[in-house]
Amino acid sequence: MRRLENLDLGAEPMVIEIGPSHPAMHGITRMLTKLDGEVIVDLDVDIGYLHRGFEKEAENSNYIQIVPYTDRLNYVSPLINNVGYSMAVEKLFGLEVPRRAEFARVIMMEISRITDHLTCLGAMAMEVGAMSVFIWFVKAREYLWELVEEVTGARLTTNWTRIGGNANDLPDGFLSMLSDRLTKVEAVIDEGDAMLLRNKIFIDRMKGVGILSKERAVSYAFTGPMLRACGVPYDVRRADPYSVYPELDFEIPVGSVGDCFDRFLVRMEEMRQSMSIIRQASEKLPAGGYLTHDRRASLPDKLDVFSSIEGLIDHFKIVMEGPKPPPGETYTAVEGGNGELGFYIVSNGTGQPVKCRVRPPCFNFVAALREMCIGHYVADIVPIFGSVNMIGGELER
Amino acid sequence: MNIVEILLNPYVQAILKIVVFVLLFVMMVGTVMTLMERKWMSAVQDRIGPNRANLPLLGGIRAHGAFHILADGLKSIFKEDTVPDGADRFMFTIAPFFAFISAIVIWALIPFAGPIGDFKFQITDLNPGLLFIFAITSLGVYGAVLGGWSSNNKFALLGAARATSQMLSYEVFLGLSLMGVFMVHGTLQVGTIVEQQNQYWFGDLIPKWGMITQPVGFVIFFTAMLAEAKRLPFDAPEGESEIIAGYFLEYSGMRYAAFMLAEYIAIVGVAALTTTLFLGGYHVPWLHADGFHLLGGHWALPQWIVTVLQIGSFATKVIVLCWFIILVRWTVPRFRFDQIMDLGWKKLLPVTIANVVVTAVVLLLWDWIG
């Protein structure tokens, strides 16, 4: 038994460390919280547990070697990272990507967006207590990963885009497999919808929690579903169109209040919009090549390599020194699962970039976590942090 | 003293009843529930569930995962028994006892089948039966509270604080919802309450089960018992995603197994209490001690068949309710702690009090009319 003299019966706030290893801290984050009973008085977010030095590695690798590193940025939507990076390098070169490759990229990007949202929403549901919904969404994710594996050969480390196109064409029979899997995924999303969105307990947990006003969200440079939930209809696919998105017809779901329930709904609706985009793109898919023939950036045909000197030299140069874009810099943004995923690349004419900076969308969300959580209960950290969808790989590169 | 005289000794009978009912029924069903929780959870989640544990010496027989119970038990026994540094050792040790005792002792009053002459299928039939059940359920609070407070861990402390408020508040509604039952049956003796549920309205057609005489009381009692057992949607003290494991965070090995087993036995106890008070206990509709009576027709049955049917009906009702409790856990999200308190004091309390008043009025009118 502890002696009474050693007890300190002050009434100060309790400091609790919701430490890096915690069921709700996916992506590994440490939050030092000061609690007054169950109300959060102060919150200090500590990140960096997954920093792997992407940008430093990029400085020492050539432009093609960086593509596998980009898979591991936002690892639940790897293809969006691949495409974003390749688009940036293509802009440096001034390359044109074949139309078929563009449509294939759009299909794979939207599939990745759906996997990203399924992971986020499933994790949110699980942490609020509805664990079955998580398992259902993971099952739906498995269908989509079958598709991704069919095309790229891997579920997560896709490494699919190349500079000027893709590594390979969509395989035979892919489109029928696509429509079959999409139907199954839609059925699962409908099940999750029916289970949660009219459930009073779920709504009570999510509504009014973690509200951030439009002005504060813009001042924190929010993008993506978090910003759209606050009421600002900013989507990179519409604001700064790229690839073949101008030819596709889709809506941007926008919330009104900016609480966790709005973010949940925005992501749910975005999944359905993505499925509509995929269906349109698969209908409009033209015939053609999957990789540009420009030999500054892509390997020449093997027949040329073994039969002509120029082919051999070009192949050798690209493999040994990497593609060499003209000196310059570019910032290219794509709409990632979390928001505006930007790549800023500076080239000095050699095969390795001088600087390859990634703008992680969830960096700004995590910065705003303190403001979103203060004043709420400890139990509210879970839906708020879940709705932020902090992906460690992207946040800390 | 021959064997018959020994068996007729009431103390020996009580001990035998404890062995048969508690050891062979309650503990069995409790441990099987640990497995069935995982199996039924998997059914909700479109998967198979644990089915790998096997006995290699008997040719790798799997029995659909039934050996996981044995595996879990062995694992708990062999795990290291840690007591955290700075924890209050005495409280830390006795906390699981409170949880376990409060879960098991209520089984002393649950009748498993109808009485044969003087012999009752109930370990004891106390006069203030329901009061005794409340008292023992209240002791269960100590398990959570002592476990959390003595663990020297802030997360456990949060869990213990939540457990205290939640369990103490919902005991109020538990008692109030049973006021209605008390008024309808006029007695607190559990055996008599079950007996009275075998009466019928409209001449032998609709049994007077507690579910029909006290529908609101049934719902509130079930909710309050779920909150007492700290089951989803009321498992804020156990947190899981917020406070990791709440009050039993620092427990491991057999101490943890004691808490877990106590929780599952509490679930079966909740199911059994609900069955006894509201679903007619062991009664099969229209089955009396001498056979089926329905609409004037009579189908005579020997006494032992009636008893077997009654035990079967009790077991079925308990297992169906357990299934329902497990199903609710795996479909519904978790309340936030202040929402639990809100729900209890602002919504359930007025409803419960209204239930008592309405029951009283209806009973008075009933007496006044007929």
Q: How far apart are CA A214 and CA A50, in angstroms?
A: 30
Q: pLDDT per residue over B73-88, tens digit each?
A: 888 889 888 888 887 8
pLDDT category at A10 given cuts 50, 70, 90 is: low
Q: How big is the CA angle at B76 (ends B15 and B227), to the nearest 5 degrees?
A: 70
pLDDT confidence of residue B17:
82
Residue B73 neighbours by CB distance under 10 Å:
15
Nearest to B337 among A38, A381, A382 (CB): A38
A89 shares its domain with A41: no
Nearest to B331 among A2, A130, A379 (CB): A130
Query: Sign of torsion, CA A57 A62 A63 A65?
Result: negative
Angstrom CA distances, A313 to A94, A252, A295, B2, B28, stand at 22, 48, 10, 107, 77
Which residues are registered as beta bridge partners of A14?
A35
Q: Tokens 């029916």 label which residue?
A: A194
A177 shares its domain with A271: yes
Cis peptide leading into residue B233 (ω within 30°):
yes
pLDDT at A241 over 50: yes
Q: Which two tokens stand for residue A307?
A: 């039969």
Query: What is the mean predicted confidence (pLDDT) over A224-234?
Result: 90
Angstrom CA distances, A197 to A146, A193, A253, A262, stand at 28, 5, 16, 11
A-chain residue closest to B161, CA distance? A37
Average pLDDT, chain A: 88
A74 shares its domain with A102: yes
**A129–B332 CB contact, under 8 Å:** yes
**Residues of B in Cβ contact (< 8 Å) with A201:** 233, 332-335, 339
**A38–B331 CB contact, under 8 Å:** no
Residue A135 neighbours by CB distance under 10 Å:
18
A315 shares its domain with A380: yes
**Residues of A in Cβ contact (< 8 Å) with B154:** 14, 16
pLDDT at A7 over 80: no
Residue A256 neighbours by CB distance under 10 Å:
11
CB pairs under 8 A between A and B: 82
**A135–B46 CB contact, under 8 Å:** yes
**Min CA distance, A10 vs chain B (Å)?**
16
pLDDT at A1 over 50: no
**Min CA distance, B174 vs chain A (Å)?**
22
Comparing A6 with B202, the larger pLDDT belongs to: B202
Nearest to B240 among A16, A23, A38 (CB): A23
**A23–B336 CB contact, under 8 Å:** no
A282 shares its domain with A385: yes
**Residues of A in Cβ contact (< 8 Å) with B232:** 129
Q: Whole-structure pTM over 0.90, yes or no?
A: no
A227 shares its domain with A264: yes
CA atoms within 13 A on the CB side of B204: 10
pLDDT at B94 over 50: yes
A236 shares its domain with A200: yes
**B88–A129 CB contact, under 8 Å:** no
**Min CA distance, B156 vs chain A (Å)?**
11
Complex ipTM tops 0.90: no
Residue A140 neighbours by CB distance under 10 Å:
23
Q: How far apart are CA A205 and CA B236, in angstroms?
A: 12
**A199–B333 CB contact, under 8 Å:** yes
Comparing B286 with B341, the larger pLDDT belongs to: B341
User: For chain A, how many structural domains are there in total?
Assistant: 2
Comparing A264 with B125, the larger pLDDT belongs to: A264
Give the structural domain span for A387: 54-396
pLDDT category at A281 given cuts 50, 70, 90 is: very high
**Residues of A in Cβ contact (< 8 Å) with B43:** none
**A130–B332 CB contact, under 8 Å:** yes
A77 shares its domain with A34: no
**Residues of B in Cβ contact (< 8 Å) with A22:** 244
Q: pLDDT per residue over A36-52, tens digit each?
A: 877 888 889 888 888 89
Q: How far apart are CA B213 and CA B208, in angstroms?
A: 7
A247 shares its domain with A332: yes
**B45–A379 CB contact, under 8 Å:** no
CATH value at residue A212: 1.10.645.10
A-chain residue closest to B92, CA distance? A1
**Residues of A in Cβ contact (< 8 Å) with B233:** 129, 201
Query: What is the mean predicted confidence (pLDDT) over B301-319?
Result: 86
Average pLDDT, chain B: 84
Best interface-test mutation with A: which of B38, B226, B241 has the largest number of A CBs within 10 A? B241
**Residues of B in Cβ contact (< 8 Å) with A196:** 333
pLDDT category at A4 given cuts 50, 70, 90 is: low
Q: Is B300 left (phi over 0), alpha (psi -120 to 50) or beta?
A: beta
Best interface-test mutation with B: which of A15, A124, A131, A376 has the largest number of B CBs within 10 A? A131
pLDDT confidence of residue A359:
92
Q: In sequence order, what are the residues at sequence separation of 6 or more whose Cβ sits closer than 8 angstroms to the Cβ of residue A7?
A: none
A39 shares its domain with A58: no
Nearest to B241 among A201, A204, A382 (CB): A382
- Residues of chain A in Cβ contact (below 8 Å) with chain B: 1-2, 14, 16, 22-24, 38, 125-132, 135-136, 139, 195-196, 199, 201-202, 204-205, 377-382
pLDDT confidence of residue A267:
93
Q: In sequence order, what are the residues at sequence separation of 6 or more whose Cβ sits closer than 8 angstroms to the Cβ of residue A296?
A: A93, A323, A324, A325
A279 shares its domain with A312: yes
- Residues of chain B in Cβ contact (below 8 Å) with chain A: 41, 44-47, 88, 90, 154-155, 158, 232-233, 235-236, 239-244, 330-339
pLDDT category at B203 given cuts 50, 70, 90 is: low
A145 shares its domain with A11: no
Q: How far apart are CA A202 and CA B34, in angstroms?
A: 27
pLDDT at B239 over 70: no
The answer to whether A261 touches A224, Cβ cutoff 8 Å, is no
pLDDT at B207 over 80: no
